[in-house]
């Protein structure tokens, strides 16, 4: 709980911010050897909203993200670069490298990430890992086309921010 995805489209006429708190996934990580960390973050596309019902209908519809045909957005971590270990209660800066999939297309992305290990900070006194990651995508890379009348309101470049709270099991 407490995980969230946010996206930002900053076009000439409009800045659109949307997101979802329906974020799930799994991670395996040895806090003393981050290079071996792997994981998968998933978000149901239909859960992504912008606070405007009509815009959300378009976002989820067949001309945009097509939630019925492609129900999940996924980021699969394949590599961690940067800090090699987590020191309790200190921020580690890493780059998460992985495959981002949306609208039936997958491309490698590099997410600038800050990670913190909080001993005993999770449910039942379990260790908690908090991470904040950011990356950008081009909608055109994922076969999402922006029609001419909408280009001034929706940017092809989308910034994706992900906040994760993961508890050790």
Q: What is the pLDDT of residues 58-85, one digit of tens each?
A: 999 998 999 999 999 999 999 999 999 9
Are 66 and 55 within 8 A, CB to CB?
no
Q: How far apart are CA 163 and CA 133, in angstroms?
A: 6
CA of residue 123 relative to chain centroid, distance: 23
SS (HEC) of 45-102: HHHCECCCHHHHHHHHCCCCCCCCCCCEEEEEEEEEEECCCCCCCCEEEEEEEEEEEE
Q: How far apart are CA 57 and CA 7, in angstroms?
A: 16
pLDDT, averaged per 10 consecutive residues of the chain (169 residues), comes to: 92 96 92 91 98 95 96 97 94 97 98 95 89 97 90 95 88
Tokens describing residue 156: 């092809």
Q: What is the pLDDT of residues 43-53, one digit of tens each?
A: 999 999 999 99
Percent of the chain residues past pLDDT 90, beyond the cut: 81
Task: Report pTM.
Answer: 0.92
Q: How far apart are CA 115 and CA 65, in angstroms?
A: 30
């Amino acid at each position: 709980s407490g995980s969230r995805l946010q996206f930002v489209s900053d076009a000439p006429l409009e800045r659109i911010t949307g997101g979802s708190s329906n974020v799930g996934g799994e991670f395996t990580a040895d806090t003393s050897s981050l290079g071996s960390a792997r994981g998968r973050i998933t978000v149901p596309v239909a859960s992504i909203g912008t606070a405007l019902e009509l815009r959300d209908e378009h976002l989820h519809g067949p001309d945009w993200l097509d939630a019925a045909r492609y129900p999940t957005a996924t980021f699969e971590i394949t590599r961690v670069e940067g800090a090699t270990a987590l020191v309790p209660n200190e921020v580690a800066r890493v780059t998460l490298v992985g495959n981002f999939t949306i609208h039936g297309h997958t491309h490698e992305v590099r997410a600038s990430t800050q990670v913190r290990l909080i001993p005993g900070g999770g449910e039942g006194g379990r260790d908690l890992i908090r991470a904040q990651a950011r990356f950008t995508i081009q909608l055109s890379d994922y076969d999402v086309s922006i029609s001419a009348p909408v280009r001034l309101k929706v940017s092809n470049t989308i910034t994706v921010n992900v906040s994760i709270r993961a508890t050790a099991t």
